[in-house]
Structure 1
Amino acid sequence: MTDTPPQQPTVETVGDGVARISWGDEVTRQGLREAVQRVAPEVEAALDVHVRVEAWVGPDDVAGQRIATWSGLRREGVMRGAVAEGDRVVFARLAHDPPSTEPEGFRALLNSFLPRKRAISQLLVRDRDDRVLLCQLTYKPDWDLPGGVVEVGESPQLAVSREVSEELGLELPAGRLLLTDWLPPWSGWDDALCLVFDGGRHDPSLLDGMVTQPREIRHAEFCTPEQVAERCAEFTARRVHAALDPSGPGYTESGR
């Protein structure tokens, strides 16, 4: 009696020049190496006649995601409600993508699935009396330091000056990094790194030329330590306090 050979991956044309590859549990149970040896050649063969080959894998199917990755398919994201059973993680390779056996293709493959931290840059601006510039925001009840999210491929140090220019109409170059504060997941947000840069000391008249962006900023003013504690969320107040401390740790988690 001979063993039944494992199920082969199947390739289906789902659009103009687009193929979707799938495989069953029998392939997955062979182990990563053996499964990749079955899936990868099918991907290559499909690219001979298609411009795109993709795989849809369940978000909880860790083994399936690894098979898709090491078969040369780049992770593109999660398609919510893709099928009746729920979401699917989409992996794909285009005919002109460098193969993962080449350095450029391998780097692109890794870049597609490695974790990416959101970065937020903020500016610690003080007046001559050590009051701190805070912004009253339109989208949450508490006040915060000026700044915002760093865009893809943007320098965090340049990003904070851009945000201050866009939101407050002030041209303030960012100085040295004062604090890196890790923010855990909170209220629908993923975790992030908040980088607080030194915005220098200025005369309060600096705000005379301020032009706030009404969509995000209600008001901004220099605040005393007591006002910081009263107006900011607790973790923000801790972050401000840590950034102000010249002998502080330089790194905190939610301000601690």
Structure 2
Amino acid sequence: MTHLPDLTDGTVTLRPDDDQADGSAAFAVEVDGAAVGRVAVATDGALTWELDERSRGRGYATRAVRMLVDWALTERAQNGLGLDRVEARVDAEQSAALRVATRSGLRREGVTRLPEEAEEVVLARLATDPPLSEPGAFRALLNSFLPRKRAIAQMLVRDGQDRVLLCRLTYKQDWDLPGGVVEVGESPQVAVAREVEEELGLTIDAGRLLLTDWLPPWSGWDDALCLVFDGGEHDASITGSIVRQESEIRDAVFCTLDEARERCTDFTARRIESALATLAAGAGAPAYTESGRG
């Protein structure tokens, strides 16, 4: 390791510890000439920091870690570390440490599950990431840790006898409307038409949005938003054209509302009823329900 420099932002100063036999870069954190903690980056890019309890909550840790990260990545050709990525692993329950990592410019990448231990959040920054002063960098940072909610798009396809098309799925016993999970960056309206074509071999354009239904956590699933689009009215004979994706679909048939109540979970049946009610009401705003309840 080459000789480490002093680093400062005018408020916090990092004083090097040149005695790191393992090649890591470690610094004492000083404020007004007094040591208040320590930060370090290992040869594999792992970041660690610790502040005296009396000095916490004042932004010193964020300043120290941000300086260390900037130095490790922007001067990698000179500092002897040669890092193009630095990483912090933070206990998921340590909200203060997570704020320090995020405010220091580290993007959240995922969660490591550990047996009989708390989960660890993995946050990292690359040498190629734009400076935090750029608006795009700040948006990307926010996007890495803001909540993300699953979206499901379904289609209400009817025949001329007041029946709706339902699918019996391979991975659960109850029946459901055709559709599926919206992929990242995909329009829900495009997604539902894609799912219907992939799983049933039917080309049906998705019409207007009939219903937004919030689904609370259930049976191992996180919560989600289910968007039900109008698939129009079709002759019942279209079921003869169905080509099932056998890994996901056991069967697909038109069902009456009573049959839907028998075959579907209660919240799915309520969702179908709500979507049909919106359709019967004519043009207007889509309905909003939670677990099928308005």
Normalised to the residue count of structure 1, the TM-score between the two structures is 0.93
Q: Which structure exhibits the higher relative contact order, with contacts defined as CA atoms closer than 8 Å and separated by 6 or more residues?
A: 1
The aligned counterpart of 1:187 is: 219
Give yes or no for the alignment of 1:121 onto 2:153.
yes
The answer for the alignment partner of 2:21 in structure 1 is none
Match of 1:210 among 239, 242, 249: 242
Asked if structure 2 preserves the Cα contact closer than 8 Å seen for 1:124 and 1:132, the reply is yes
List per-residue Cα deviations over 1:184-230 (Å, max 9, x = no partner): 11111111000000000000011111111111100000000110110
2:85 matched residue in structure 1: 52
Measured in 1, the distance between the counterparts of 2:232 and 2:209 equals 12
| Counterpart selection for 1:235 from 267, 281, 289 | 267
| 1:96-175 map, 5 Å | 96-175=128-207
Offset of 1:27 from its aligned partner? 7.1
CA–CA distance in structure 2, aligned partners of residues 227 and 194 of structure 1: 21
State the SS of the aligned residue for 1:56: strand
How far does the alpha carbon of each residue in 1:137-179 deviate from its partner, in whole angstroms, 9 at most, with x for none? 1110100000000000001000000000010000000000000
Q: Distance in 2 between matches of 1:106 and 1:211?
A: 46
Q: Which residue of 2 aligns with 1:251?
A: 288
Q: State the distance in 2 between where 1:207 and 1:193 align.
A: 28
* Paired amino acid for 1:220: A
- Counterpart CA distance in 2 for 1:156 and 1:178 is 13
Which of the residues 229, 232, 235 maps onto 1:200? 232
For the residues of structure 2 that align with 1:119 and 1:184, how far apart are their CA atoms? 12
Query: 1:55 is paired with a residue of what secondary structure?
Result: strand
SS at match of 2:46: strand
Contact 1:32 1:67 in 2 (8 A): no
Shift of 1:79: 1.4
Aligned residues between the structures: 250
**Residue identity matched to 1:9:** V
Give the alignment partner of residue 39 of structure 1, picking from 35, 59, 65. Answer: 65
| Corresponding residue of 1:73 | 106
Q: Is 1:64 the counterpart of 2:90 in the alignment?
A: no
Shift of 1:26: 2.4
Greater Rg over alpha carbons, structure: 2
What residue is the counterpart of 1:23 in the other structure?
A: 49
Distance in 2 (CA, whole Å) between partners of 1:44 and 1:183 is 42
Distance 1:3-1:41 versus aligned 2 partners, 3 A rule: closer
Q: Which moved more, 1:20-29 or 1:199-208?
A: 20-29
Query: Which segment is superposed worse, 178-187 or 27-36?
Result: 27-36
* Structure 2 CA distance for partners of 1:249 and 1:171, relative to 1, 3 Å: closer
Matches of 1:133 and 1:109, distance apart in 2? 42
Shift of 1:4: 5.3
Identical residues among aligned pairs (%)? 60
CA distance in 2, matches of 1:189, 1:100: 35
Two-structure CA RMSD over aligned residues (Å): 1.9
Q: Which runs of 5+ in 1 are unaligned?
A: none
- Identify the range of structure 1 (118-127 vs 5-14) with the bigger mean alpha-carbon deviation: 5-14
Partner of 1:10: 40
1: CA distance between counterparts of 2:65 and 2:105? 9
Q: Indicate the SS of the match to 1:31.
A: coil
Asked if structure 2 preserves the Cα contact closer than 8 Å seen for 1:138 and 1:217, the reply is yes
On the 8 A contact 2:36/2:51 being kept in 1, the answer is no
Would you say the 8 A contact 1:9–1:27 is kept in 2? Answer: no
The answer to whether the 8 A contact 1:28-1:63 is kept is no
